[in-house]
Structure 1
Amino acid sequence: MFIHVTNARYSGEYKIWLSFNDGTEGEVDLASELYGQVFEPLKDKEFFKSFELEGHTLSWSNGADFAPEFLYEQIAPNSTFKRSFANAQSA
């Protein structure tokens, strides 16, 4: 199964509430991920809030985005999906 974000809403600071196509929901805090040339502009909270759902994940107008798998792992670190993904990568 390919995991993807189906809904997202800003929930404060650098946090976003996410829903995934398998029914998993939760809040992700991206504050510690906002470094580097592409992600640095997201430290501006007004810009951070301007995300859109594009290509099954969060994206911003400057080209910044996060892989849906990364976002999912932040919410459900011990999920079956994570173990399946890790096994597929090591095969």
Structure 2
Amino acid sequence: MSTETATQEHRSSGITAVAPWRIRSVTVLPDYCLSVTCNDGTAGTVNMSQLIFSEKAGIFASLKEEQLFNQVCIKLGVLTWPNGADLDPVWLHEEIGKGGAWCIPK
């Protein structure tokens, strides 16, 4: 698995993400987990395994392919994958802010 960190800046596009819940960096961890840091310093781990392997995974089901899961990137402060899947940054910020770890429910 990749452990590269993706950091987002939009200076060249003229767009500046200023909301504190924007994702600043993400690192792929083993077992369908991500380490994320928000612009306001809130940081934690997001475990996506229950969602990805759920019968109701929808667009997230294709992330079972580790190669695709590892292609997570940050677009305008949002965790996004090439298949169009993304995570609501407000929800993510709220959940990891409660205790530093979030296991996304099925």
Per the shorter chain, which TM-score range? 0.7 to 0.9
1:8 and 1:41 mapped to 2: Cα distance?
A: 20
Higher mean Cα deviation, 20-29 or 33-42? 33-42
Q: Which has the higher contact order (CA 8 A, sep 6+)?
A: 2
What amino acid does structure 2 have at the position aligned with 1:76?
G
Identity of aligned residues (%): 27
Q: Provide TM-score, normalisation by structure 1.
A: 0.75
Q: How does 1:7-86 map to 2 (within 5 A)?
A: 7-34=25-52, 35-77=56-98
Distance of 1:66 and 1:32 partners within structure 2? 14
RMSD over aligned Cα, in angstroms?
Answer: 1.7
Provide Cα deviations, 1:23-75, integer angstroms capped at 9, x if missing partner: 11111101122243311101112211111111211101110000111221331
Q: Counterparts of 1:10 and 1:30 in 2: how far apart (Å)?
A: 11
Q: TM-score, normalised by structure 2?
A: 0.66
Q: How many residues align?
A: 78
